Amino acid sequence: MIIDFHTHIFSPQIKNHREDYALRDPLFAKLYSDPKAKLAMAEDLITVMDKQEITASVVLNINWSSAELCRVSNDYLSEAVTRYPGRLYGFGMIDFSSPDKAIGEIDRCVQNGMKGIGEVRFSRAQLSKPECIQPILEYIIENKLILLTHTSEPVGHTYPGKGDSTPALLYPFIKRFPELKLVCAHWGGGLPFYSLMPEVKKAIGQVYFDSAASPYLYSPQVYTEVPAVIGDQHVLFGSDYPLVNPERLLQDINNLQFPEKTRNRFLYDNAAKLLGIS
């Protein structure tokens, strides 16, 4: 069994009016204004899941810039989860610049069965001075939701939306909110490798790291090296569909030698435990 912990879907309205939404949202424009950038709906994802024998997927938002866009996208993800129970698990999005609206939208996400908030793209200011968003994070913790955040490598090539969420900024943020159920996308920008330092390993002991977009970032060795360094109970399979078809990651994984326990934890067990499913 396989759970893909990192996928993105969009409503038909967004998919069919890409140009309009690129004008309304700067992040959407950066990631998807190019007509070659793939946009997928729930049905597209389910088709790929069936082909690759993927049991379930987490469907994520992007970090919309307004409460209105968050709400509209949350409605679509909620509806998709309702249509495909047990196959799709939704993560909502909130406007972190407006705490009152954010907390109200978190309540709505909880009522609609959302499992978390993400994919959040924190700014350098938010990570450096988290007290400005602390009430929101405490409310996420209180509601036992998962927070999935985009993370960035401090070195290497640039790409659209790489961002500023590097290990140097993430580490103090993680230490400040030890009770937060946190998933760091894209292998945490390399943060797991710092767990060779005992104090870092202790601080990130409750954090998970997903494998989203691995073929664009690392050699296939990353699938074996990260579990060996941080522990196989901290890793989650994530593709970043439709940017990357999960088939590409699964082919790389199948070519590697994994202990069966590590493979099962990576592909299914850790995600099932985190999501609270059997």
Asked if residue 239 has pLDDT above 80, the reply is yes
CATH class of 3-275: alpha beta
The secondary structure element, H or E, covering residue 116 is strand 116-120
Domain extents for the chain?
Answer: 3-275
Tokens 């997927």 label which residue? 57
Copy the structure tokens of residue 206: 């409750």
Distances (CA, A) of 219 to 123, 226, 253: 28, 12, 11
pLDDT in tens, 148-188: 999 999 999 998 889 889 999 999 999 999 999 999 999 99
- Which three-class secondary structure state does DSSP give residue 55? coil
pLDDT in tens, 251-267: 999 999 999 999 999 99
Position 87 confidence tier, pLDDT thresholds 50, 70, 90: very high
C-alpha angle 58-62-64 in degrees, rounded to nearest 5: 140
Give the pLDDT confidence score for residue 151 in this predicted structure.
97
In the chain, the percentage of residues whose pLDDT exceeds 90 is 94
Average pLDDT value over all residues in the chain: 96
